[in-house]
Structure 1
Amino acid sequence: MIDIKKIVLILFCCINLYSSERIVTLTPSINEIVYALGVGKDVVANTRYCDFPEESQKVKKVGGYASISLEKILLANPSVVIAQNYDEKLLSNLKNLNIKTLTFKTDSIKDINNTIFSLGNYFDKQQKAKELISNINNSLTSLKSIVKNKKILIVISPKKTLSNQIYVSGNYLYFEDIIKASGNVNAFQSKSKAQPVVNTEKIIKMNPDVIILLAPFFEGKTKELEKVKKLWLGLPINAAKNKNVYAVDKLYAGIPSQRVVYFIQDFKKILENVRDK
């Protein structure tokens, strides 16, 4: 005689077995988007730099940006690995092992929105994805007509000295999209897609009207950050003369995820401050 209860129990277990994903995320931005879509509970491994939201810090780690362990990924037994297009060798190895891998770019605002949209479809979280994308687009629209035609320079991870190795945002990152959406221009101009590295002489020649220091590693270190700003205020440029040197010391400042909205809000406040002087 067929035991109906046992059959129902087996079917229930099978449904649950195949209904939940085992997700491995390989960059902070991808990790944040996955959690924002509401499927963070299915993340079984990520990298040591995936520290937002807080619960993702407790997830097993498979390495860092340049030290991701294929063995640790395999031990996590993922149903899907979600990555960015950085480590071609790793991605190739995953493909050769028949591990489902989704790869995305988050260089531009369009890329970020496309990543959210695609992952929203994959996880059947279309409504949440639509909401996140709408928040980004609306925040960009809010930047219009505050100030115009200012040359804005965004400095990435400023140091305690104005050395010759100064990293700035080029013309192929999402910061460029934010600057353009506000009706202003990037003080740095180049057709190269490589990470721009400049010196003080180059910055003086650019003569930016506004400087924004992306300084997440100075969060909570107010005195140290003020010393760094003072260095920039000492340069013979318009931004220093008009005291338009600002800093964003939050960890989200350099992460191209849905949290770009928070940086755009900070950017808006900076523009309003420039306008009101």
Structure 2
Amino acid sequence: MNIKSANRIVALSSLSADIIAQLDQTKLVGISGSSLFKNDSRFQAIPKVSEGQSPPNLEKIVSLKPDLVIGAAGFSDPILQKLNQLQIPTVSTKINSWQSLEAFTKQIAQAMNVDSAPLLKRYQSLIASKNSRNLSTLVLVSRQPILTPNKNSWAGDLLTQFGAKNVAADLQGKSPIGGYVTLSAERILAANPDILIVVNAEPTLLDSLKKESFWNRLKATKNNQVYVFDYYGLVNPGSLEAIEKACSQLKDILTKQ
């Protein structure tokens, strides 16, 4: 990131907006609308350059006179390309591990000429004092197909941080979603995890999974070790508050008290 001084930043992802606000809120001049910030007073007066699933509005972004626009790799590529053509500096981020979260925070803090140490210390406090119970764990994020994160995803890396034995960590597949693999019922039964985590990306996912023939045959379901997590925090880091909540849940489940 060769940005010497970023004082007017537009953030096109909720996580980058949150990190910038934590570092120096006065330098955040535009954000993408997010349900995570609906009741967050920090973002109420900041102009929104997009809402819902609509793409960011190029004219709105340009009118804010940003000296840096931060987007998410893949999702923000088209708008970042247009901004580059207009000679507006951009950064594309991919936060799919704890290491990438820390690296991005250091980079953007340097560009903003602020100290990243307090925020990095806050990160470390979330994963400190781990005493893993070394439990085999499976995360399910959808039913058709059944998708689970391997080690190359934010969710997979987060499990690693808490010492979980992610049964899908080393699996590779042809899922269109990077860092995720598809599982068959047979493979789930063969893995037979101690802990089962269901992500509420689909509101009815848990109920629909309960109808699967493998469900009641698993160790986790027999021992009442099934937990529901929010999509934000575990699958999509989303915001620091969402990450903190996911870490707190994982600590409760996976570490000795």
Amino acid at match of 2:77: E
1:133 matches 2:116: no
Q: Is the 8 A contact 1:108 1:174 kept in 2?
A: yes
Q: Is the 8 A contact 2:201 2:230 kept in 1?
A: yes
Amino acid at match of 2:10: V
What is residue 163 of structure 2 aligned with on the other side? Answer: 183
Q: CA deviation at 1:115?
A: 0.9
Taking only aligned residues, the RMSD between alpha carbons, in angstroms, comes to: 3.1
Select which of 140, 146, 152 maps to 2:137.
Answer: 152
Q: CA deviation at 1:242?
A: 1.6
Question: SS state of the match for residue 154, structure 1?
Answer: strand
Q: CA deviation at 1:97?
A: 0.7
Q: CA deviation at 1:58?
A: 4.8
Question: SS state of the match for residue 55, structure 2?
Answer: coil
Select which of 7, 11, 15 maps to 1:29.
Answer: 15
Select which of 257, 263, 267 maps to 2:246.
Answer: 263
What is residue 203 of structure 1 aligned with on the other side? Answer: 188
Q: Relative contact order: is structure 1 or structure 2 higher (C-alpha 8 Å, sep ≥ 6)?
A: 2
What is residue 121 of structure 1 aligned with on the other side? Answer: 110
Q: Is the 8 A contact 1:152 1:212 kept in 2?
A: yes
Question: SS state of the match for residue 172, structure 1?
Answer: coil
Q: Is the 8 A contact 1:50 1:56 kept in 2?
A: no
What is the alpha-carbon distance in structure 1 between the residues aligned to residue 109 and residue 35 of structure 2? Answer: 20
Q: Is the 8 A contact 2:210 2:216 kept in 1?
A: no
Q: Deviations over 1:86-130 (max 9, x none)?
A: 23332222111100212322111000001111111122221xx21
Worse overlay, 86-95 or 59-68: 59-68
Amino acid at match of 1:135: R
What is residue 71 of structure 1 aligned with on the other side? Answer: 59
Amino acid at match of 1:170: N
Amino acid at match of 1:181: Q
Q: Deviations over 1:39-95 (max 9, x none)?
A: 2x3323211226334432553322356622323322333222112222333222211
Amino acid at match of 1:77: K
What is the alpha-carbon distance in structure 2 between the residues aligned to residue 194 and residue 254 of structure 1? Answer: 10
Q: Is the 8 A contact 1:84 1:104 kept in 2?
A: yes
Question: SS state of the match for residue 24, structure 2?
Answer: coil
Q: Which one has a larger percent helix, Structure 1 or Structure 2?
A: 1
What is the alpha-carbon distance in structure 1 between the residues aligned to residue 153 and residue 219 of structure 2? Answer: 24
Q: Is the 8 A contact 1:153 1:208 kept in 2?
A: yes
Question: SS state of the match for residue 71, structure 2?
Answer: strand
Q: Deviations over 1:152-197 (max 9, x none)?
A: 11223x5xxxx43233222212332332233332121324545334
Q: Is the 8 A contact 2:93 2:104 kept in 1?
A: yes
What is the alpha-carbon distance in structure 1 between the residues aligned to residue 220 and residue 160 of structure 2? Answer: 18
What is residue 98 of structure 2 aligned with on the other side? Answer: 109
Q: TM-score, normalised by structure 2?
A: 0.78
Question: SS state of the match for residue 77, structure 1?
Answer: coil
What is residue 238 of structure 1 aligned with on the other side? Answer: 219
Q: Is the 8 A contact 1:27 1:50 kept in 2?
A: no
Aligned length: 241
Amino acid at match of 2:73: N
Counterparts in 2 of 1:73 and 1:263: CA distance versus 1, 3 Å? same
Unaligned regions of 5+ residues in structure 1, if any? 1-18, 219-223
Q: CA deviation at 1:34?
A: 1.0
Q: CA deviation at 1:137?
A: 2.4
Counterparts in 2 of 1:214 and 1:54: CA distance versus 1, 3 Å? farther
Unaligned regions of 5+ residues in structure 2, if any? none
Counterparts in 2 of 1:214 and 1:133: CA distance versus 1, 3 Å? farther
Q: Is the 8 A contact 2:150 2:171 kept in 1?
A: yes
What is the alpha-carbon distance in structure 2 between the residues aligned to residue 57 and residue 255 of structure 1? Answer: 22
Counterparts in 2 of 1:238 and 1:168: CA distance versus 1, 3 Å? same
